[in-house]
Structure 1
Amino acid sequence: MTRPLDGVTVVAVEQAVAAPLATRNLADLGARVIKVERVDGGDFARAYDHAVHGSGAHFVWLNRGKESLAVDLKTGEGRDVVRRLVAKADVFVQNLAPGAAERLGFGDLRADHPELVVVNLSGFGAGGPMERRKAYDMLVQAEAGLIAITGTPDAPAKTGIPTADIASGMYCAQAVLAALLRRWRTGEGATIEVSMLEATVEWMGYALNTRMYAGTEPERMGLSHSSIAPYDAFPTRDGQMLIGVQNDSGWRTLVTDVLDAPELADDPRFTTNVQRVAHRAECDAAVAAKTSLWSNSELDDRLAAAGVPAAQLKDVGQVADHPQLRARDRWRKVGTEFARIDALLPPVTFDDFEACMGDVPALGEHTHALLVESGVDADDYLRRGIAR
């Protein structure tokens, strides 16, 4: 079984979410990822919380399968270790604060290594009035307009997951794969820039086009949809069910085969999606009056049998034991410095290769070996505090 990225080495001076997600994706595909961390605490995501048997929940999610090198980049010796490792690497990724990579001497690595793939991941990209601004996920969501369209009509909200970080991290991993493919064909390296703002604005897609070309600001719809009805959460006897009907035949199936209300199929207020949107309140009320007659499980069975798109509103605890994930055997055990934990396989499944799912490293777990590999006196560097 050949791992797709066998033989690829990545050096990452990274922290938080965006770049660590990108390099974890590469590690899952078989790349060797050397994570460079601060000697005084390492990646600060390690200390966001201690939710996973003493480890940070963000950190264990984002850093499996990596080697941890804790080295002081404020020292010339520490920076030299990183440059020595980069000299033998294929990819260098960094998401330091604006200007930090240049100050550390990592801004021109391709001058000595033209075949290297370099990725600079930042909040707002080089140039422009926001170039030097620090960027956190919530702030980028706000600048990208995502918060403006998320939430209810009464109040905006950020997304419950770090969407800007995830978007930019995924584009970063995609860019690395594309650059490596080109390099294997031509021998040419690459210098790549990924902006969290631009990645998130790209994901704004339909909302941005609606504003640019229809001239109207997209509404915050909660669980509903500005262009489709019925599309919302509807009450049941013991909870609620999310139902999304996207065409007129689906509406007829819903009211006739599921809700036992065939009279609604030909109601002139509801016969087309345009009419249902125009009479959304009446449409939703008519559906809710019928869904409330069944329990969640009863209604779920009826909707599934009729092929009407629907879902139960699960809490996170229920997702952790989701029957679909269990049936597809999507959980694996990985090690952390304190305990073995369950981790979800990546969503991309090869028919002849399973993601590597390596252990989550302790801070500096691989420092000694990496110092030796770089050709310096490991014991001396550790004794003097240049490395940990």
Structure 2
Amino acid sequence: MTLPLDGIRVVTFDHAVSVPYAGRLLADLGADVVKVERPGGDFARFYDTACGDVSSYFAWINRGKRSVVLDLKSPAGLAAAHRLVDTADVVLANLGPGATARLGLDGDTLRARLPRLVTCELTGYGDGGPAAGRKAYDALMQSEAGLLELTGDGPVTARAGISVADIAAGVQVHAAVLAALLHRMRTGEGATLRISLLEALTEWMHQPMLYALGTGTPPPRTGGHHPSIAPYGPFPCGDGVSVHLAVQNEREWARLCAVVLGDATLATDARFTAVRDRVANRDALHHEIDRRLATISAERAGELLDEADIAWTRVGLVADLPDHPQLIARNRWRDVAVPGGPTVPMAVPPVDSSAWPAPDGAVPALGAHTREVLTELGYTGDDLATLLP
């Protein structure tokens, strides 16, 4: 059984998270993703030491790729990079502002001689405009797009716990490349794709932006609780374990009151009748829920929530995720080899397919495939030796 992108070569000139994540998603679909790294490697390799010789970030977003080290500042290294591009179906990049154009690796230059090529370059702010050419990173974009304003509790703002701007951009690159490959199959033409980190996160910011414009105020920072639906968030139980519950409509609210809180009259209390009332009186609402849940264990709370048909979960710990009983029961974990360390658990892609299997692949050591790839390109002897790190 083959993978959908078997036979497709993706060459990446990338670092950090966004474009490497897109490349990982393409590798998951069977593409031969060749990651070109500078001497010394992608700096994301060294963010932490959680996975052997590489960081948790690098391990997560570079599984299943081949690593090639080329010095793009040397004529021989740059020539090898161009020879590698000549064999590619897709080229991805997120180097510093203006770097690809200086190297002749920008989409317009490459597609002038390779019209069937699909190129995609991610920049911080896009071409043109007052911010064009500025550097941009995930946390900066969370601030600039307004996500930081929404995240936190009360007066305290917080960065989201994962790199949401980078992930938003990565999935946009992934989807755009797949669309461009379909376009090429139908027309014979490649495509030049350009995406900005700011605009990728802006797409995800529509709902709170529309809320702020329509109501005159931004959604409030409410910690783990939903800013515009209540009750919807974590509540501690008597045994110190918290349950996260979600009431979506008035029928569920009535059942929560009668079955879980043991007081059906709360459902018709004027402070709590409709969702907007419960949001306006959130402190009083939480007091009623806290008062009841403090008398029972999380296990008992879960039983009552199930009886009332209310969506809920325990508040989990990230280090416990590999032991999650649902993920284990569905066989969602694979042991993945990382450079200089034991295997680490990684989840298979969340989409199950009847047409292709889940991918398999290791995290590459720096330059682990340089000789292999250069040999494929026809380098031998002294020419090969000159390029090897």
- With the shorter chain as reference, the TM-score category is over 0.9
**Cα distance between partner residues in 2 of 1:177 and 1:225:** 34
Letter matched to residue 122 of structure 2: L
| C-alpha contact (below 8 Å) 1:21/1:169 kept by paired residues | yes
* Distance of aligned partners of 1:105 and 1:323 in 2 relative to their CA distance in 1, 3 Å threshold: same
- The equivalent residue for 1:241 is 243
Matched, 1:356 2:351: no
**Cα distance between partner residues in 1 of 2:388 and 2:94:** 21
**SS of aligned partner of 2:168:** helix
**Cα distance between partner residues in 2 of 1:16 and 1:306:** 46
Of the three residues 250, 253, 270, the one matched with 1:251 is 253
Of the three residues 375, 379, 382, the one matched with 2:378 is 375
Q: Deviations 1:48-91 (Å, cap 9, x if unpaired)?
A: 12111332111111111111110110011111111111112100
| C-alpha contact (below 8 Å) 1:333/1:340 kept by paired residues | yes
- The equivalent residue for 1:36 is 36
**SS of aligned partner of 1:10:** strand
Letter matched to residue 15 of structure 1: H
1:1-388 correspondence to structure 2 within 5 Å = 1-39=1-39, 41-107=40-106, 108-238=109-239, 239-338=241-340, 339-377=342-380, 379-381=381-383, 383-384=385-386, 386-388=387-389
Moved more, 156-165 or 43-52: 43-52
TM-score norm. by structure 2 comes to: 0.95
| C-alpha contact (below 8 Å) 1:237/1:292 kept by paired residues | yes
Segments of 5+ residues of structure 1 without an aligned counterpart are none
**Cα distance between partner residues in 2 of 1:382 and 1:337:** 24
Deviation at 1:231, TM superposition (A): 1.9
| C-alpha contact (below 8 Å) 1:381/1:387 kept by paired residues | no
Deviation at 1:382, TM superposition (A): 5.6
TM-score norm. by structure 1 comes to: 0.96
Moved more, 322-331 or 213-222: 213-222
Segments of 5+ residues of structure 2 without an aligned counterpart are none
The two structures, once aligned, show a CA RMSD in angstroms of 1.4
Deviation at 1:381, TM superposition (A): 4.7
Deviation at 1:2, TM superposition (A): 2.4
Letter matched to residue 154 of structure 1: P
**Cα distance between partner residues in 1 of 2:307 and 2:79:** 64
Letter matched to residue 353 of structure 2: F
Moved more, 163-172 or 277-286: 277-286
**Cα distance between partner residues in 1 of 2:326 and 2:307:** 17
Letter matched to residue 8 of structure 2: V
Moved over 4 A (4+): none
Q: Deviations 1:192-225 (Å, cap 9, x if unpaired)?
A: 0111111111111211112233332222121222
Deviation at 1:364, TM superposition (A): 0.9
Deviation at 1:261, TM superposition (A): 1.7
| C-alpha contact (below 8 Å) 1:78/1:387 kept by paired residues | no
Letter matched to residue 277 of structure 1: V
| C-alpha contact (below 8 Å) 2:348/2:358 kept by paired residues | yes
**Cα distance between partner residues in 1 of 2:141 and 2:325:** 35
Letter matched to residue 291 of structure 1: L
Deviation at 1:387, TM superposition (A): 3.3
Moved more, 354-363 or 70-79: 354-363
Deviation at 1:306, TM superposition (A): 2.3
**Cα distance between partner residues in 2 of 1:131 and 1:77:** 31
Deviation at 1:277, TM superposition (A): 2.2
Identity of aligned residues (%): 46
Q: How many residues align?
A: 385
Letter matched to residue 83 of structure 1: H
**SS of aligned partner of 2:304:** helix
| C-alpha contact (below 8 Å) 1:72/1:387 kept by paired residues | no
**Cα distance between partner residues in 2 of 1:74 and 1:335:** 31
**SS of aligned partner of 2:2:** coil
| C-alpha contact (below 8 Å) 1:30/1:355 kept by paired residues | no
Letter matched to residue 371 of structure 1: L
**Cα distance between partner residues in 1 of 2:385 and 2:186:** 44
| C-alpha contact (below 8 Å) 2:322/2:328 kept by paired residues | no
Q: Deviations 1:141-173 (Å, cap 9, x if unpaired)?
A: 111111011111121111011111110011000
**Cα distance between partner residues in 2 of 1:49 and 1:382:** 33
**Cα distance between partner residues in 2 of 1:267 and 1:151:** 30
| C-alpha contact (below 8 Å) 1:224/1:232 kept by paired residues | yes
| C-alpha contact (below 8 Å) 2:322/2:333 kept by paired residues | no
